C-alpha cells in the first residue's frame, strides 16, 4: 500500500496537538517514515536522512521515534528479527513479512480487521483488555523485482 504524504502543515499540527515542540528533526523524521513505506528501523531512517541533514544525530532519531510512539503518532511493528521498526499507520492493519528480503508490506483490509475484532469480542477473554490487533503474515516474494499486489 502506498502512503500519501500529508502536507507539511498537517504534520506540524499532528506533532503540536500532542504537546510536543515542532522541531525540524521531528518533521524530517516523520516525513521519512511516509516516504519509506518499508517500516524502517532507526538506523535506516538515519541513513536516509543524514546526507540532507548532516547535523542530525543517530541518538536523536532513536529518541524521536520512541517519543512519536509514546504520543501515538506512529507505532512499532511486530517483528521476529529483534529489530525495532516503525510504521506511520496507526490504525489496525496487517503486514506481509518476506522471509528472504525482510521487507514488510502493509496490508490494510478493514473488513478482515473488523471480522477478527468481532470474533474476539464474542469470545470474551477474561482479564485482558484488547487495545489493538496486528496480523502478521509470513511468507515469500517469488519475484522480488515485481510488485506485490492485493486484489480486493
Residues that bind a copy of itself (CB under 8 A): 76-84, 96, 98-99, 105, 107, 109, 112, 115-116, 119-120, 123-143, 146-151
Query: Which residues, including other chains, have CB under 8 Å from residue 49's CB and lie 6 or more apart?
Result: 28, 29, 32, 56, 61
Residue 98: φ, ψ to 5°? -85, 125
Smallest distance, DNA to C-beta of residue 21, A: 4
Q: At what angle do helices 42-50 and 24-35 cross, to 10 degrees?
A: 110
* Residue 79: contacted member of DNA, a copy of itself, none (CB under 5 to 8 Å, by partner type): a copy of itself
Among residues 18 and 78, whose Cβ is nearest to a copy of itself?
Answer: 78
* Residue 42: contacted member of DNA, a copy of itself, none (CB under 5 to 8 Å, by partner type): DNA
Which DSSP state fits 90?
-
Amino acid at each position: 500500500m502506498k502512503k500519501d504524504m500529508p502536507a507539511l502543515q498537517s504534520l506540524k499540527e499532528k506533532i503540536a496537538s500532542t504537546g510536543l515542540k515542532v522541531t525540524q528533526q521531528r518533521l524530517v523524521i516523520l516525513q521519512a517514515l511516509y516516504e519509506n513505506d518499508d517500516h524502517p528501523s532507526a538506523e535506516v531512517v538515519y541513513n536516509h536522512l543524514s546526507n540532507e541533514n548532516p547535523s542530525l544525530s543517530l541518538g536523536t532519531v532513536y529518541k524521536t521515534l520512541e517519543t512519536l510512539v509514546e504520543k501515538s503518532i506512529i507505532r512499532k511493528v511486530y517483528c521476529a528479527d529483534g529489530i525495532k521498526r516503525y510504521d506511520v499507520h496507526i490504525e489496525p492493519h496487517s503486514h506481509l513479512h518476506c522471509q528472504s528480503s525482510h521487507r514488510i508490506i502493509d496490508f490494510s483490509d478493514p473488513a478482515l480487521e473488523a471480522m477478527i475484532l468481532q470474533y474476539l469480542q464474542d469470545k470474551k477473554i477474561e482479564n485482558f483488555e484488547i487495545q489493538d490487533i496486528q496480523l502478521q503474515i509470513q511468507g515469500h516474494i517469488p519475484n522480488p523485482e515485481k510488485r506485490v499486489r492485493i486484489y480486493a
